[in-house]
Amino acid sequence: SVQNLKVYMDSKGFFTSRASCEVDTVSRRKRAILTFRTVQGEPYRIDSISYEFQDKFLEQIILPDTARTLLRTGNVFDVSVLDAERERITAYLRDRGYYNFSVNNILYRADTLVGGNRVNLRLVVRQNLAGYDERGRAMMEDNTIYRIDRINIFPDFDPTTLRNDSTRLGRLDTVSYRGLNVIYEKRLNLRPSVLRYTVPLYPNSVYNASQVSRTYSDLMALGYFKSAKISFDEQPRGADTANLISYIGETADTTQFRYTREGYLTCNIHCTPTLKQSFKVDLEGSTTSSFYGLTATVGYQNRNIFRGAESFDVS
């Protein structure tokens, strides 16, 4: 529609653009031909970029990384680029402990009143919405840095059994190996060292979203599990106090200290194994005018023959 065309052109910086539509009816065949016309005009370009940190602690983390920003003065004002920059900053912070940080914590203010098809752009990093008071007013607080406290892995998780057997939790055993709690029932089918090798998460380490994704990929790469789910539970916060945090990023300056909130997460990794052993029979028949033959091939596969997720195949 004309409105959709106008919205799209505005998102690409063509604020003075116009869109129109003409309808030409053809009575003989009862059809209508729609012709859309657009006049783009000159695009608006970014004249200046500034930052506003409502969460002051994030200033020392985000500003040193602006060399990799997608926003450049002189570039055309493009909403898709602005959204990509929000996603880039969010991913950067989620790799540095900000578990709850999202693109909604970042907004833009664009001033087009400077004239000359120019835009003064301000990127605002907001605090976290903690809740509402008795009058319905929003209560804001600095974003929390999270550390991983406990890491639990369930290598033989069966969601069907868990739903139907409420006593299963009481039959579970736990083996702790280098900060990894391996929770199992009856017999541990995988060596803890194998699981530890595939889980690059450690207690007291800062939450890192990329490491979580790597954990999932490494677990599935074993070929032993048919599914894996990684979830985090926030531990209840004690007294409403802030800890002294020193952030050491990619710059050499490690002298900046600020008070900010620090929380802890419990990591639970539920893995459902595939069938440990399987058999396969392939039948192949051949026939001629005077002969008929049948060939059978039997295959056997063991996906965990030495408790190290090794795959043994024979046919």
Encode 92-129 in three state secondary structure: HHHCCCCCCCCHHHEEEEEECCCCCCEEEEEEEECCEE
Per DSSP, helices labelled H in the chain are 2-11, 59-62, 79-94, 159-164, 192-198, 209-221
pLDDT of residue 24: 75
* Region at 94 (left for phi over 0; alpha for psi -120 to 50; beta for the rest): alpha
The neighbour count for residue 182, using CB atoms within 10 Å, is 22
Task: Catalogue all structural domains in the chain, each as residue range(s) with its CATH number.
Answer: 2-39 (no CATH), 45-141 (3.10.20.310), 145-273 (3.10.20.310), 277-314 (no CATH)
Residues of the chain with pLDDT under 50: 240-241, 244, 246, 248-256, 278, 283, 293-294, 300, 304-308, 312
**pTM to 2 decimals?**
0.78
Show the tokens assigned to 262: 């620090």
pLDDT of residue 308: 46
pLDDT of residue 173: 87
pLDDT of residue 313: 54
Q: What gap in Å lies between CA 266 and CA 69, rounded to an integer?
A: 33
pLDDT of residue 122: 97
Dump pLDDT digits (tens) for 222-281. 888 889 999 999 988 665 445 545 454 444 444 445 567 889 999 999 999 886 554 555
pLDDT of residue 280: 53
pLDDT of residue 34: 76
pLDDT of residue 274: 82
With the CA atoms of 60, 61, 67 and 68 taken in that order, what torsion angle do they form, in degrees rounded to the nearest 10?
-160
279: exposed, middle or buried (Cβ count in 10 Å: 0-12, 13-18, 19+): exposed
Name the DSSP letter for residue 304: T
